[in-house]
Chain A
């Protein structure tokens, strides 16, 4: 399971109002490039980028979704199984901030419970060095963004896809928060939950002695061996008793 250079695949989804710069953030991160008039994303675009954080290599599988209102009903398709989400708004558009908050709520309710969410106030270049005032271009203050991030337990950055400001930082911060244990085979809590009865238990027991043991001929697992999920662990009393799990040969 663990090799000398583990590659952790992280499914990341971008959400946010139309034209806040979701695709541009991705383009900056993936190709260090910027285009003034990017075609709107139809459905979603998929890109990947590898980066090394400390000892681990993370492969970001980025799902860049369409921002227009009506595409919202397609979003569950994309944030399904996502371990991380980037919720983007435009610091010059208050409506986009409201929408960002809606997305955060939607994710908390519907996405994997341990999803790492980063809130991004994009288009920082438009307001960089600007002095606060009546006709300032900035319409969403840093404090507002921070407040929401604090309340909801999110990472928070103000970014500029155009200048590159903070773009890599966002992805790095997400990468840091990704638990080491996740790997290609155990991609997310959602996956694990669905595949609980397919987990190769003998492997798990051998690999992580502390996380499981054999009792009465049945294999018991510490919940954390299957779920890297605080909330889930609590709700299950910390342990998972696989009454319905049968050991595969």
Chain B
């Protein structure tokens, strides 16, 4: 079943990007992005300044040291600097925990300078530029933040112990100073954290044990390491590293194996997150130990299929690390869970990183670097393919023209490159070089490399005319990256250039202009279309997978889908299976949009027994406390059921228990019928009988006009009919149906067998007397109906119940209720109108009756009066029911037979004639009804005229 569920959860995912955020980032967001800082690092203050970095080795301050002018920023945890020229000369994000000392530098009075000393002996001299007061303000803020951060300082030591750069420097210093490995005098080894002199190799990637891919010698790993060592000594390291141009160069030539993990996490910013969240990774693993999930199932399938050629992944050690990182992430971010390609990515990370490093790095990649790539709909992947296609169009028009002429789908070629960050496309050694740059400069790297691949192979690609051929050409190209790019060149220097080197040059030189801004602009441009495509796919799949609903057309299902997810955005709830569930409030919102009776006044106290709740829990067939799309579709399918008998059974089923509805259930039924029929009673919706009456009345009017008009008759655009009368007729019909229902229901309910018949009779008699008294006093209030029901309910010693055949009989005894179940109710549900135009709901004859609402008060008064009258009549009916039922048994059998439209009239007349109880209300209403019926008949005959006339 996982397919269905996953598709459902996919739809839930949709709500996450319903309103695609444009890339108009706030200043803080831009800032955080530039420095790869965590989300909470907002700018506290900023100031122009001149900075000088002084490594511990150089004792003479300001001697040969360079000064950089730029902007200095303060955030809650960082002191950030960026030079003003090209922003690459000097850049640092110094974690405040690394600051050991902050002091004012004694200078001439007009200069305000601070010296910042870090734990490793590094110092920065900051000379503020600008007005004095601002400088003071900034340094004060810095002081405050440093104080606030004091509590975090103790986390620094365990953290730096996990970093290879720290180990590297400490080891070499220990060796050079000859300090004993025990480090008895903490703090005395310059540049090393106290106590770190007893150098312990930090935890690292699988490469430590299983060797790193590629030939370390050929990669000149050692000389690269020397460069980095020098760099760390001169420019600081990890949380206090200063980036100068050499840094970027060193990353581009390939990071040495042992340092790779640390440089990656530093470049992409996951180091800061890891520092901030010690123990979280282990905590996740502990918390969800032995728990199962769909994601874990999927992860297990792929564990043996992730870089299977690398020795570590043929051993339990490697597989277990992979499992733990992927699993922990699936718990950390259930929206993503697990996506194929993540296994390859993590397998690659783990070669160079510890589990914890890889875990945080994965977090940053999935959420910051390539958002949406691994999401449940993979919209990010699709989006970037569109972006890529348009970049190809821009940069290589000839190839783009060729691609469109032969209808080649470029994305089938390039999608795997992006999704696996080239790890599954190129030999690993090269892919890691791409990843080095990717970590440093983000997603544009992927585009630059992809464009370069096409540019280099352009000639060959122009000769092939389908996407399959493209793939084969490029596959071959990737496999020969180690070969010479110019094998036939007479120049040996040229010959020695490999295809991979050529690729890097083309990617980062020729396509250097592919900027982050350009990519985010393109993403904005294509976002809506991609979302639409994904949404359509998900919708199609989801609708296709719904249970069969014979009463709903495809377009209606589509509307239901839109409405379901339309309200979902307000009240979304994810079920156990990951699918969306709609809670009661969302459900009422949905119903209010499609049925005139569906609005619920939430200000009223919750009544778990009322109709809407009952409907909700009936639809919630799995008792999950929420409705899935399938539940809603099945439920609505049942509501619009055209078959009368099926409708009656469905309605009955909502109340029955063991095939019977007890006293309370009957009362609830009648109350719910009142609730549901309110729109008709209030004249907001017209049923067929009323519509016929209107049509007839109109016909009459038109015929009249025609008679009186001379010459050519023009069809009037509006005909005034006596709507007041017609409204009243409908209101009355519904009131009388309501009272008729409760009366008959109790009259024909079966007494429960537990009760002795005689006893019941006795009690019944008593009740009759009570009612008579009440009648005599003519003390009926507005709630007479309610009271009537209450009386019946107050008879606990005389339990009765209604079974399905009786219920049917009771409904069919009344034309209005019969019509309600055969069509009015189903027709009142509007699932044809798309969600956007839901305001124009189903008022079929609205324009003609637009004055109706204005007459609301009068209608209400009418309703009240009639209700009183009607209930009086009913009370007497109930009172008289027993004796009468004995004398008129045959009549009743006849009277309550189904589909007998005249029954009401007959019954009414009977009552009128037989009973001496004043029956003014009911009698009147019936005679009116009779009158109406006659009217209808009369008008019906004239309808023929109308039709002819229209022809």
Residues of A bordering B, CB below 8 Å: 11, 17-19, 36-44, 46, 48, 61, 63, 66, 68-74, 76-78, 80, 95, 98-99, 102, 105-106, 109-110, 191, 194
Q: Which A residues touch B541, using CB under 8 A?
A: 72, 102, 106
Separation in Å of the A6 CB from the closest CB of chain B?
A: 18
A44 to chain B minimum Cβ distance, whole angstroms, is 6
7 tightest Cβ-Cβ pairs between the two chains A and B:
A69-B6, A43-B416, A43-B415, A46-B471, A37-B304, A42-B416, A99-B3
Bound form: Cα–Cα A73–B534 in Å: 7
Q: Let me know if B2 and A74 touch, CB within 8 A.
A: no
In the assembly, what is the distance between CA of A88 and CA of B522, in Å? 37
CA distance A17 to B298 in the complex (A): 11
Nearest neighbor of B377 in chain A, beta-carbon distance: A73
Interchain nearest-CB distance for A105 vs B (Å)? 6
- State whether A68 touches B339 (Cβ < 8 A): yes
A-B contact pairs, 24 of them (CB 8 A): A17-B3, A18-B301, A37-B308, A39-B308, A40-B301, A40-B302, A40-B305, A42-B415, A42-B416, A44-B415, A46-B468, A61-B466, A63-B412, A63-B468, A69-B10, A72-B7, A72-B541, A73-B10, A74-B382, A77-B411, A102-B545, A105-B544, A106-B544, A109-B544
Q: Whose C-beta in chain A lies nearest to the C-beta of B375? A: A70
Q: Which of B2, B343, B344, B472 contacts A69 (CB 8 A)?
A: B2
Taking CB as reference atom, which chain A residue is nearest B545?
Answer: A102
Give the chain B neighbours of A80 by CB distance below 8 A.
409
Taken together as a complex, chains A and B put the C-alpha atoms of A95 and B651 apart, in Å, by 36
User: Could you tell me the dominant secondary structure of chain B's interface residues?
Assistant: helix
* B340 within 8 Å of A (CB atoms): yes
How long is the Cα–Cα vector from A110 to B541 in the complex, in angstroms? 11
Asked if B168 CB lies within 8 Å of chain A CBs, one says no
B537 interface contact, C-beta 8 A = yes
Q: Name the B residues within 8 Å of A46 (CB-CB).
A: 412, 467-468, 471-472
| B871 within 8 A of partner (CB) | no
Given B340, B409, B534, which contacts A40 in the complex, CB threshold below 8 Å?
B340
Question: Which residues of chain B (591-636) have a CB below 8 Å from chain A?
Answer: none
CB distance from B434 to the nearest CB of A (A): 15
Complex contact B407–A194 (CB within 8 A)? yes
Q: Pick the contact of A42 from B341, B375, B376, B540 — CB < 8 Å?
A: B341
Seen from chain B, the residues whose Cβ lies within 8 Å of a Cβ on chain A are 1-4, 6-7, 10, 298, 301-302, 304-308, 339-341, 343-344, 375-378, 381-382, 407, 409, 411-412, 415-416, 419-420, 424, 466-468, 471-472, 534, 537-538, 540-541, 544-545
| Interfacial chain A residues near B305, Cβ < 8 Å | 37-40
Contact call A43/B412, Cβ cutoff below 8 A = yes
A197 to chain B, nearest CB (A): 14
Contact of B420 among A37, A42, A71 (CB under 8 A): A42
Q: Return chain A residues, CB-CB under 8 Å to B3.
A: 17, 69, 95, 98-99, 102
For the complex, what is the distance from the CA of A46 to the CA of B408, rounded to whole Å?
A: 14
Q: In angstroms, how far is the closest chain B Cβ from the Cβ of A244?
A: 20
- Least distance between B65 CB and chain A CB atoms (Å): 49
Q: Are B468 and A71 in contact (CB under 8 A)?
A: no
Min CB distance, A50 to chain B, in Å?
Answer: 13
Which residues of A have CB within 8 Å of B545?
Answer: 102
- Give Cα A70 to B373, complex, Å: 11
Report the separation of the CA atoms of residues A39 and B419 in the bound assembly, to the nearest whole angstrom: 14
CB <8 Å contact, A77 and B412: yes
Contact B424 A42 (CB under 8 A): yes
**Whole-angstrom distance between the alpha carbons of A198 and B399 in the complex?**
21
Query: Quick one: given A39-B308, A43-B412, A76-B537, are A95 and B2 in contact (CB under 8 Å)?
Result: yes
CA distance A40 to B377 in the complex (A): 18
* Chain B residues within 8 Å of A109, by CB: 540, 544
Chain A residue contacts of B378, Cβ below 8 A:
70-71, 73-74
A70 near B304 with CB under 8 A, answer no
Q: How far is the CB of A36 from chain B (nearest CB, A)?
A: 8
A43 contacts across to B, CB distance below 8 A: 412, 415-416, 419
B415: chain A residues at CB < 8 Å are 42-44, 74, 77
A43 to B344, CA, bound (A): 13
Chain A residues with CB under 8 Å of B416's CB are: 42-44
- Chain B minimum-CB-distance residue to A72: B541
Known: A11-B468, A66-B340, A73-B382. 13 other contacts (CB 8 A): A36-B304, A37-B308, A39-B306, A39-B308, A44-B412, A46-B471, A72-B7, A72-B541, A73-B377, A80-B409, A98-B4, A102-B3, A102-B544
What A residues does B339 contact at CB under 8 A? 68, 70
Cβ distance A162 to chain B, nearest Cβ, rounded Å: 15
Docked-complex contact A39 and B411, CB < 8 angstroms: no
Q: CA A18 – CA B307 in complex, angstroms?
A: 17
B340, A48: Cβ atoms under 8 Å? no
Q: Which residues of B contact A95 (CB under 8 A)?
A: 1-3
List residues of chain B with CB within 8 A of the CB of A72: 7, 537, 541
Q: Tell me the bound Cα distance from A39 to B409 in angstroms.
A: 24
Chain B CB count within 10 A is highest, among A37, A38, A43, A191, for A43
The smallest C-beta distance from B32 to any residue of chain A, in angstroms, reads: 28
Contact A18 B538 (CB under 8 A): no
By a CB distance below 8 angstroms, the chain A residues around B375 are: 70
User: Which residues from A are CB-within-8-Å of B307?
Assistant: 39
Q: Whole-angstrom distance between the alpha carbons of A191 and B1 in the complex? A: 35
Question: Chain A residues with Cβ under 8 A from B4's Cβ?
Answer: 98
CB distance from B620 to the nearest CB of A (A): 24
Could you say which residues of chain B place their CB within 8 Å of the CB of A44? 412, 415-416
Q: How far is the CA of A95 from the CA of B541 in the complex (A)?
A: 16
Q: How far is the CA of A62 from the CA of B631 in the complex (A)?
A: 40
Alpha-carbon gap, A46 to B472, bound state (A): 8
From A36, which residue of chain B is reached at the shortest CB distance?
Answer: B304
CB distance from B808 to the nearest CB of A (A): 39
For A194, list chain B residues within 8 Å (CB).
407
Measured between beta carbons, the chain B residues less than 8 angstroms from A105 are 544
Question: Residue on A with the closest CB to B470?
Answer: A46
Residue among B3, B302, B307, B424 having the largest count of chain A Cβ atoms under 10 Å: B3
Q: Give the CA-CA distance A202 to B1 in the complex, in Å.
A: 53
Q: Residue of A at shortest CB range from B409?
A: A77
Task: Find out whether the CB atom of A74 lies under 8 angstroms from the CB atom of B544.
Answer: no
A37 to B537, CA, bound (A): 31
A78 with B306: CB separation less than 8 A: no
Please measure, in the bound complex, the distance between the C-alpha atom of A17 and the C-alpha atom of B340, giving whole angstroms. 12
State in angstroms the CA–CA spacing of A98 and B544 once bound together. Answer: 13
CB distance from A189 to the nearest CB of B (A): 14
Q: How far is the CB of B541 from chain A (nearest CB, A)?
A: 7
A40 nearest in chain B by CB position: B340
